Chain A
Amino acid sequence: MSPDTEIRSVVLAGVGGQGILLASEILARTAMETGYDVKTNEVHGMAQRGGSVIAQIRYGPEVHSPLVAKKTAAVLGALEQVEAMRFADYLSPGGLAVVSSQAIMPVTVSMEAARYPEDIEAKLKRAFPRMVYIRAAEMASGLGDIRTANIVVLGAISKGLDLQQDAWKEAISSCVKEKFREINLRAFELGRHIE
C-alpha cells in the first residue's frame, strides 16, 4: 500500500507559455539516459491558454501510474510563485521545493475578482522546510533570454535528484535547437550552482 519508495516523482508547475513541457521532457530524458523506467504526463489544449500548467514526471525501476499522488513528490519545481502554492500538496514531507520568485498576475487579479497573495516567500518557507527560492527570471534575463528561466529552475531541481550530470547535459542538447543549446546549458549550470 505504501508508495514504492524506489520511485521518484517530480511535479513542475507554472503558467502556460513558461516552458514547463520542455523542462518536463528534459527531465524525463535524463532519467531515461540514466537507465530508469520513466513516465510523464502533461496537460494540453484548453489548459494551456495562459492557465495553470502542471507536468508530472516519475522514474524508477518500474513505474506504473504516470500521475503523481498527493504528498509523494520528491521535488516540486515552480516557475511562478502562486503556482508553487497551488500545487504545494504534491510535495512529500521533507521534499525539495524550487520556486522561482516570478509573479505573473492572473486575469482574475487584474479584474479585482481575486487577490494576489502577499508575503509568498515567507508562506512557502513555512510550508516547505526545504525550499530554494530563486530569482530565475532575472538570472535568465542576465544570460540574455528570460525564456531560459525554466532551465535555471531545472538546474536547481537537479541537485535534489540522483541523476547523472552528463545525462542532464545530453538531454538538454537533444531537446533544444542547436542555436539555443549553449545558453540553455549555461542556464542549467547557473541553477545547479545556487546555494
Chain B
Amino acid sequence: MKHLMSGNEAIARGAYEAGVTIGAGYPGTPSTEILENLAKYKPEVYCEWSPNEKVAFEVAAGASIAGARSIVTMKHVGLNVAADPLMTLSYISVEGGFVACVADDPGMHSSQNEQDTRNYARYAKVPLFEPSDSQEAKDFLKLAISISERYKTPAILRSTTRVGHSRSLVSWDERVASPNKVGLVKNPPRFVPIPVWGRPMRQRVEERLGLLKREAEASPANRIERRDSSLGIVTASISYQYVREVWPDASVLKLGFSYPFPDDLIREFASGVDEVLVVEELDDILEQHIKSLGIACQGRKFVSGMMELSVDRLLASRALMEGREPPKEEPPLFYDELPPRPPVLCPGCPHRGVFYALGKHDVVVTGDIGCYSLGAFKPLDRMDTILCMGAGVSMAHGMQKAGEPKRVIGVVGDSTFFHSGITGLLNIAYNRGSSTIIVLDNRTTAMTGHQDHPGTGRTLQGDVTRAISIEDIGRACGIERVCVVNPYDLESTLKAIDDDVNSDEPSLIVSRAPCPLRERRRVGAVREIDADRCKGCKICLKIACPAIELSADKPQINEIFCGGCGICEQICPAEAIYAQGAASQAEARK
C-alpha cells in the first residue's frame, strides 16, 4: 500500500523510520511541514520549534553528540543563521546520525533570495543528499542518517519548493529504533576544538571527505540510466523529473548523493556518451566541477541559473541546443486585461491598524520578515526596507546613528522578535540609540501557517508552557519606555506612536492582538456601509482590506470576508460604516 505524501511529509516519515528521536527547527516556507509532521510521531520523537535556526541546529547537535539520532529543519536563509554551528560541527563530528534538512526556494515563491544550499555542503565539507520526489525524500533521509552515523559527520538533505510541496506516492517501512545508548562519552580532544585539538580535527575532516567520496561513487542514490548515447545529461533534485520529460531518450546520470562529487562515476558516464549536458537549478556547481575534471560539458550556456526550471523552460533549452528556433514565447491569453491579485493582509488582520497609523507619520520604517512584509505594498506602503530576520530592529538604529533626518521606526513580528530581534533591541539600549521599535504581536508565527513560539504559551507538541513576555524582555534589555497597544483602537495606536517618535528615548511598542485566522473567528461584528450616508470618498479603500470591494461608485463590504475588526468604521469621515444592522438602529434613534 502506497501513501500520497508531500516531500516534507516524506522527510518526516523517513526520520521516524530511521529511529530519529529529536527534531528541532524554525518555521520557514518551504520547510515548515517537515517538523510539523515529525511532531505527530509523539512520543517516539521529541520535536520543538526553537527560537531560531542556530538554536535549533545546536539543540539537534547536542542530542547527536550525546548519541541520539536527530534532525534540524529550516529554509535556505535559515542555514545562514545556523552556519556558525554547521561549520564547526563538521570538525567536532557527531555521534548519533545528524541531518540538517534545508529547503531551497528557486523562483523565490516565499523568500527574499534564491541562494543555493549546495554551496554549504562544500563549504562545510559534509555530505549532501538531494531527493527528486517524495519516495526519495524518505529514502535519502534514512540514507543520510546512516552515512552521518557511520562517518560521524553532519549531513545536509537539500530539498526545494517543488520537492517539498509536491505530493507523490511513497511506500512505508517499519521504524527501526536506534541501537545507540544516549550518554556523552567524555572525549575533549574530539569535542573541544581549541587549536591544539582542532588541528587534528581539520585533518580528520579531509580524510573523511575521501571516504565519503568512495561511498558516493558506489551509492545506489547515484545511478546511470543508459539510453541513447548521443546525449548524456547530469542532473539532480527536481530537475531530473523535468529532464525525463524533455529528453526522454537521453542517457542520464542522476545524482542523489551529490557531494562529495562521485568523480569516477561522472567519468564513466561521460565516456559513454557523445555529449554531456548539465541541468541544475541555481548555481552551476556540477557544471564547474565536471569541467574541472577535464570533461567537456554544456550547462549554463543553454540552461538558466536564475529562477526555477520547468518543462517549458527546458524545451526552450533543448531547441536552443539543437540549433532550432526555441518555441515562441507567446504572451499569455488575456494578459492585457488581467487585474493582478497579489497577496494581501487578511480581513481583520491586526497589522492593518499599525500600518494605517504609521501612514500618518513622516518617518522611515525598517521592516522585517513575516505577514507584515505585505505592509510594503500600496496603498498601505508603510515599510521602507527589508533585509533579513531581525534587521528591522538593528537597521533602525544604524540609520538613526548615520543621521537619517527622519525618525526611524523598526517593525518586527513577535516570532521574529524572539528569533533575532532581541539582540538588536539590546544594542539600541546599550549604544544610546533612540529608535522606536514596534513588535507586531499577533501571538503566532502567522505567515508560515501559525506555529507556536516562546510567546504563545504552547509547545510544538501541544504542551502548555510559560508564555514569555515581550515587554519584560524589552525592559530587561534596558528599554525603559515600553507600552502595549490594541491595534484595532486606532486612536490609542496613533497616540502611542506619536508620543514615542517625539521622545528622545528609545522605546518599544507592543501591538497586541491575536491573528484572527489562527483564532478562527471574527474580531467583532460584520460591518456594512450605509449607501445613503456614504459620500464615495473611498478613504476606506486605503487600508487594503480584501473585504471592501469597489464594484460601482461606492464601496461595499463583502460580508463573507469581513473580519469584523472595525478599522474601516473608525476611519470613515462620513460615519457611514456600522456593525451589521446598527445603521437602521441609529436611524431609528434619531
Contacts and interface: CB of A to CB of B under 8 A. Distances in A.
Contacts of A125: none
B283 to A, nearest CB: 21
A29 interface: yes
A51 interface: yes
Contacts of A122: none
A114 B346 contact: no
A86 B332 CA distance: 8
A85 interface: yes
A44 B110 contact: yes
B202 interface: no
Interface string B313-351: 001001000000000000011100111111111100000
B209 interface: no
Given A50-B546, A51-B342, A108-B342, A69 B310 contact: yes
A189 interface: no
Contacts of B238: 66
A67 B107 CA distance: 14
Interface in B290-316: 310-312, 315
Contacts, number: 171
Contact of A39 (B133, B334, B337, B447): B133
Given A41-B162, A65-B242, A88-B332, A46 B546 contact: no
A16 interface: yes
B84 interface: no
A107 interface: yes
A135 to B, nearest CB: 16
Interface stretch (B62-70, B163-171, B175-183, B432-440): B163-171
A86 B166 CA distance: 22
A15 B165 contact: no
A58 B166 CA distance: 11
Interface string B15-51: 0000000000000011010000000000000000000
B339 A49 contact: no
Nearest to A85: B334
B29 A28 contact: no
B194 interface: no
Contacts of A32: 2, 4, 169
A127 to B, nearest CB: 6
Interface residues of B, number: 58
Given A41-B165, A146-B560, A114 B110 contact: no
B4 A38 contact: yes
Contacts of A66: 133, 162, 166-168, 238, 241
B579 interface: no
Contacts of A180: none
B521 interface: no
A164 interface: no
A63 B132 CA distance: 12
Interface in A6-55: 15-16, 25, 28-29, 32, 37-52
Interface in B539-578: 541, 544-546, 548-551, 555, 558, 560
A46 B109 contact: yes
B332 A65 contact: no
B372 to A, nearest CB: 11
A51 B555 contact: no
Contact of A45 (B109, B241, B339, B558): B109
Contacts of B109: 43, 45-47
A176 interface: no
A15 B341 contact: yes
Nearest to A51: B343
B549 A41 contact: no
Contacts of B244: 64-65
11 contacts: A28-B167, A32-B4, A38-B168, A41-B167, A46-B447, A49-B343, A50-B344, A50-B546, A105-B549, A106-B342, A111-B378
Given A38-B167, A107-B546, 17 more contacts: A38-B4, A38-B168, A42-B165, A46-B109, A46-B343, A49-B374, A64-B244, A66-B166, A66-B167, A67-B162, A69-B311, A106-B341, A108-B339, A110-B548, A111-B541, A114-B340, A123-B334
Q: Which 8 A-B pairs have the closest CB atoms?
A: A45-B29, A45-B110, A114-B339, A66-B166, A49-B343, A51-B343, A106-B341, A46-B110
